[in-house]
Amino acid sequence: AGFLAPDLAAPGQRHFWDKIRQMRAAWALESRWSKDQILEAYLNLAGFRGEAQGIGAAALGLFGKTPDALARDDALLLAALLPDPQADAGTVARRACAVSHEQDCGRFAGEAASMLGPARSLALDPGLAPHLSDRLLTKPGLKVTTTLDRRIQTLAIVALKRQLQGLGGARARDGAVVVVDNASGDVLAYVGGIGGASTAPAVDGANSYRQAGSTLKPFLYAQAIEKGYLTPASILDDSPVQ
């Protein structure tokens, strides 16, 4: 019949009632699913670094490979991430070494640093316009013709990567670019994000809500420069007025 238990655990702590609930959930799964089904569900739902959920997303996001193409060391590093997806490279390397049961594990330190470093995220390119594709391709087999210009799209991606690398992850984690032909209204480039130090690389930054004030700034500055009130070298005091 089951029972209800009061939530006695303080924030950040676990109570024995939580363990009992987990045991009941485990028994329910065991009674309906085979071991292979439970493992498959776990690998498809387990959370990895950032917003990557499941082994498929983690393999693509961290190694640029599908799960079937992972090398043994790749798989060990992913397994080492499961207890704490936000662990630093050193911790992940030590866990991978423990899982491998090897004596000489020096290589894992470099591999973990490469897997988790910002250079890895910036180097990965899941496609020419993955965010726009996700918006437009709403069902399997669908083909859509867009106004994107491949050359301009590539230039926008490269420019954004360079800008983010120059700023560093502490100042800007990701960015977005949209290039529009004023005469025709055609969208020539659509870059929803390129990863970098982003904690949510799958989020479409070009289609996300933002403050209206920041959206208007380029137009206001352009008008001020056009009228001679400012020059591109002018420094503005952006401190609060009150």
Count the neighbouring beta carbons within 10 Å of the beta carbon of residue 190. 26
> Per 3-state DSSP, what percentage of the chain is helix, strand, and coil (rounded to 5)?
50, 5, 45
Do the beta carbons of residue 218 and residue 212 sit within 8 Å? no
Note the helical H segments in 124-207.
130-136, 150-167
**Is residue 212 classed as helix, strand or coil in its secondary structure?**
helix
Distance CA 82, CA 92 (A): 9
Q: Which segments of the chain are extended strands (E)?
A: 177-180, 187-191
Structure tokens at 199: 């904690």
pLDDT of residue 5: 40
How confident is the prediction along the chain (242 residues), in pLDDT tens digits per residue? 333 344 444 445 667 888 899 899 999 999 999 999 999 998 888 888 766 788 888 888 788 788 888 899 989 999 998 888 888 888 989 999 998 888 888 888 888 888 776 545 544 445 789 899 888 988 877 889 999 999 999 999 999 989 988 888 788 889 999 999 999 999 999 999 987 777 778 889 999 887 777 778 889 999 999 999 999 899 888 788 87
**CATH numeric code, 16-117:** 1.10.3810.10
pTM, two decimal places: 0.47
Distance CA 121, CA 34 (A): 36
| Per-domain boundaries in the chain | 16-117, 130-226
How would you classify residue 232: left for phi > 0, otherwise alpha for psi between -120 and 50, otherwise beta? alpha
Helical (H) or strand (E) element with 169: none
pLDDT of residue 8: 42
Strands 187-191 and 177-180, sheet pairing: antiparallel
